[in-house]
């Protein structure tokens, strides 16, 4: 299912953004603290949205299989 692969790529991208921001903050904690905090919040939101897409697609597939059975 293409939706799953797109959402999985979104999860990977959000995780990468979060980790990169955390590394930048660890190396220079006070240089861009506000911007990096916003970046991590956006990455967390993107991760949650993609996880919700995967969950919904899984539920829809299950419902469709139940209807066909």
pLDDT tens string 25-40: 999 988 899 999 999 9
DSSP per residue over 8-63, as a string? HHHHHHHHHHHHHHHHHHHHSTTTSHHHHHHHHHHHHHHHHHHHHHHHHHHHHHHH
**Contact assessment for residue 51 and residue 8, using Cβ atoms and an 8 Å cutoff:** no
Average pLDDT over residues 5-10: 96
Residue percentage of the chain with pLDDT more than 90:
81
Average pLDDT, the chain: 94
**pTM confidence score:** 0.85
Average pLDDT over residues 33-57: 97
Residue with tokens 């240089």: 31
68 vs 45, more confident: 45
pLDDT of residue 1: 66
């Amino acid at each position: 299912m293409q939706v799953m692969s797109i959402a999985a790529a979104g999860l990977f991208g959000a995780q990468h953004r979060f980790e990169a921001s955390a590394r930048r903050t660890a190396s220079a904690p006070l240089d861009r603290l506000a911007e990096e905090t916003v970046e991590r919040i956006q990455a967390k939101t993107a991760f949650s949205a993609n996880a919700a897409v995967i969950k919904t697609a899984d539920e829809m597939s299950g419902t469709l299989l139940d209807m066909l059975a």
